[in-house]
Amino acid sequence: MTERLGTRVCLDTSGYSAFKRGHEGAIDVLQRAGEIVLPAVVVGELLAGFRMGSRNRINRRELDGFLASARVRIAPLGAETAQRYAEIVSYLRDRGTPIPTNDIWIAACAMEWGLRLFTADRHFHRLPQVSLLSLD
């Protein structure tokens, strides 16, 4: 049996995609995580991507199964998330280093809930406000 980490993980879209592609590191992180949190914006990105692809029903069924796990939950975006979003936007603007808007929301959610963000996207390294678990 895989030993569980006490780690609470905020799962980014790229982290979920790596897991579904069978990336060993992604599988290990998610199997060992104590809790896996998907910001609502990640679920939206996944669903939008599924609709644009040829495997919409299969991907949706797999996501529904993943979300049904007792260790997985969807985090809503609320007023506290918005405060952190504003902080990150200001930080990035002051440094002239923008990142995609949805990723700012994802980072804000990780910040709000004190989660380690699991991602394959390197631009998150620009955010000292967020603790990362990355594939690289």
Burial class (CB in 10 A: 0-12, 13-18, 19+), 77: middle
pLDDT, one tens digit for every residue, the chain (136 residues): 345 556 899 999 999 999 999 999 999 999 999 999 999 999 999 999 999 999 999 999 999 999 999 999 999 999 999 999 999 999 999 999 999 999 999 999 999 999 999 999 999 999 999 999 988 6
- Consecutive H or E run containing 43: helix 40-52
Q: Domains of the chain: which residue ranges? A: 8-134
CA nearest neighbour of 53 among 20, 8, 99, 83: 20
The reported pTM is 0.91
> What CATH number labels 8-134?
3.40.50.1010
Cβ(99)–Cβ(124) under 8 Å?
yes
